[in-house]
Structure 1
Amino acid sequence: MSIKLFDLSGRTALVTGSSRGLGRAMAEGLAASGARVVLNGVSPDRLAEAEADMRAAGFDVLTAAFDVTDEAAVLAAFQKLDQDGIQIDILVNNAGIQHRQPMMELATADWRRVIEADLTSAFVIGREAARRMAERGRGKIINIGSLTSELARATIGPYTAAKGGIKMLTRAMAAEWGELGIQTNTIGPGYMLTDMNEALVKNPEFDAWVKNRVPMRRWGKPEELAGVAIFLASDASNYVNGQLIMADGGIAAVL
């Protein structure tokens, strides 16, 4: 089997929420495998910093600043890409938020905010990318789920519902778009060292719980998602469709 199966040269990847964290790590991994990467976020300053860093590393990088929960902004962003002659071959639906609160105390507005950011945005952006991929007869969509795509934990109800929805959205996309040459899969990260989890990492009790619960006895590093993303974005995964691949250190595999 040739390593060229993993070569992404000549392909363009849009990674949402990629100015930092897991999105940035996956964007760097795709770029290192030859892809041109379109970084996305809502902070122009963070995007500019990420773009500069990746360009300095020799990567081919563009930026598209838009809020993934604003459908009009999403449509405008894709129209701008069309006008500029930029075809998205790979989409990584990574952008998302967290809200920790017991459900009995949870406001409906906060529920909807998480669902819109973590689930609805993946549908809207995935739909727009797929419409264009279908015209070319090929494409890769990678939705970012979570350990909570399979398992629940108290105080993160809307996030759990959204990430469970991502798993089933992926299957729905695979069912409808597979015959069009589009493969859609999900990556399910476990407990990762990200800004979103900073408070948990700094909590000695929770930190100890993670390290005792995960068979590898440590938190995951953002860059450890890059290999899975490269696989799912490349020709190496051309017959992989509708799957949830956990990158969780084994936590979901054990009691």
Structure 2
Amino acid sequence: MAENLFDLTGQVAIVTGASRGLGQYFSRALGRAGAKLIVTSRKAGDCDAFIAELSAMDIEAKALMLDVRDQTSINAFAQAAPSLFGKVDILVNNAGMNIRKPAQEVTWDDWNAILDTNLRGAFFVAQGIARHMIERGYGRIINVGSVTSVRGFAGLGPYGASRGGIKQLTMSLADDWGVHGITVNVLAPGWFKTAQNAVMYEDAGWVEYLVERIPMKRPGAPNDLDGAVVFLASEASRYMTGQTLLIDGGVTVGSTRAILQKK
């Protein structure tokens, strides 16, 4: 029988920011592929209902508190996580936030909150877990970026800076840690409806505008990311590192179909 390159049986995966949204979809996908899970949230108990859901799916999972904006929390988490199942093979750096404002209205505190969460936090979580991976000579780190890692959008200045930074950071970490058997890649979703941006999808005109610019003619559904996260976590991607994998329905193509059809 051919080797199943996507089988994660026996692997242990961390998914940060798993109390809601894409973090939960990533967790389910990895769990269905066979991984044991460590899911995190900023507040104790926020993942309890999700742990019960995973248990009902016969997915073994445990929760830890983690505030990626707090150095003490990160350090404690990095110490505790490997002991839960005896090791960590996979890290999905998913915790993130956004504040949408015109550039001229962004405050100092807005900037710090976004960059501290999405970029600084991601780095130090990766650093903490990578120390354990380096000892074992193996690891898969998946930094969650976005279409804003490679494209600019009005009203998303600090967020785009953080996601562009994730892309550059990932390339550096891939070079640092490749010699230790650790791959580091970016999973970059396009336009997906999440808790962070749900209000935008209540505007039918905006959704129509968006769909016109997506070659596949729809926003992403969260399970469209299942294959990508399993791929990056598995042996199927063992010779891929420092790369940004865009799952965006083609929006970064810069489609002109809608313009041409109106001529």
TM-score (norm 1): 0.97
- In 1, the alpha carbon distance for the partners of 2:84 and 2:5 equals 28
Describe the superposition over 1:60-110 as per-residue Cα deviations: whole angstroms up to 9, x where unpaired.
111112211111111111222344453111000011001111121111111
Question: What are structure 2's unaligned runs of at least 5 residues?
Answer: 256-263
Describe the superposition over 1:123-165 as per-residue Cα deviations: whole angstroms up to 9, x where unpaired.
0000011111011111000000000000011111000000000
Letter of the 1:105 partner, please give it: E
Greater Cα shift, 152-161 or 44-53: 44-53
Any runs of at least 4 consecutive aligned residues in structure 1 with deviations exceeding 4 A, and if so which?
82-85
Letter of the 1:62 partner, please give it: K
Q: Offset at 1:250?
A: 0.5
Describe the superposition over 1:185-221 as per-residue Cα deviations: whole angstroms up to 9, x where unpaired.
0011001021111111101121111111111111111
Describe the superposition over 1:33-70 as per-residue Cα deviations: whole angstroms up to 9, x where unpaired.
00001111124343001101111111111111221111
Q: Offset at 1:3?
A: 5.3
Q: Percent identity?
A: 38
Greater Cα shift, 160-169 or 3-12: 3-12
- In 1, the alpha carbon distance for the partners of 2:8 and 2:102 equals 43
Say yes or no: does 1:235 pair with 2:238: no
Please tell me the root mean square deviation across aligned C-alpha atoms, in Å.
1.3
Partner of 1:119: 119
Say yes or no: does 1:109 pair with 2:112: no
Secondary structure of the corresponding residue to residue 216 of structure 2: coil
- In 2, the alpha carbon distance for the partners of 1:46 and 1:36 equals 19
Secondary structure of the corresponding residue to residue 241 of structure 2: coil
Partner of 2:33: 33
Question: What are structure 1's unaligned runs of at least 5 residues?
Answer: none
- In 2, the alpha carbon distance for the partners of 1:254 and 1:157 equals 20
**Residues 192/3 of structure 1: CA separation in 2 closer, same or farther (3 Å cut):** farther
Partner of 1:132: 132
Secondary structure of the corresponding residue to residue 173 of structure 2: helix
Partner of 2:60: 60
User: Residues 167-178 of structure 1: matches in 2 within 5 Å?
Assistant: 167-178=167-178
**Residues 37/108 of structure 1: CA separation in 2 closer, same or farther (3 Å cut):** same
Partner of 1:143: 143
- In 2, the alpha carbon distance for the partners of 1:2 and 1:209 equals 45
Partner of 1:187: 187
Say yes or no: does 1:16 pair with 2:16: yes
Secondary structure of the corresponding residue to residue 62 of structure 2: strand
Secondary structure of the corresponding residue to residue 44 of structure 1: coil
Partner of 2:214: 214
Structure having the higher Rg: 2
Q: Is the 8 A contact 1:47 1:65 kept in 2?
A: no
- In 1, the alpha carbon distance for the partners of 2:183 and 2:49 equals 32
Q: Offset at 1:233?
A: 0.4
Q: Is the 8 A contact 1:13 1:37 kept in 2?
A: yes
- In 2, the alpha carbon distance for the partners of 1:242 and 1:85 equals 27
Q: Is the 8 A contact 1:15 1:91 kept in 2?
A: yes
- In 2, the alpha carbon distance for the partners of 1:83 and 1:250 equals 41
- In 2, the alpha carbon distance for the partners of 1:34 and 1:132 equals 21
Describe the superposition over 1:9-50 as per-residue Cα deviations: whole angstroms up to 9, x where unpaired.
111000001122111101100000000011111243430011
Partner of 2:42: 42
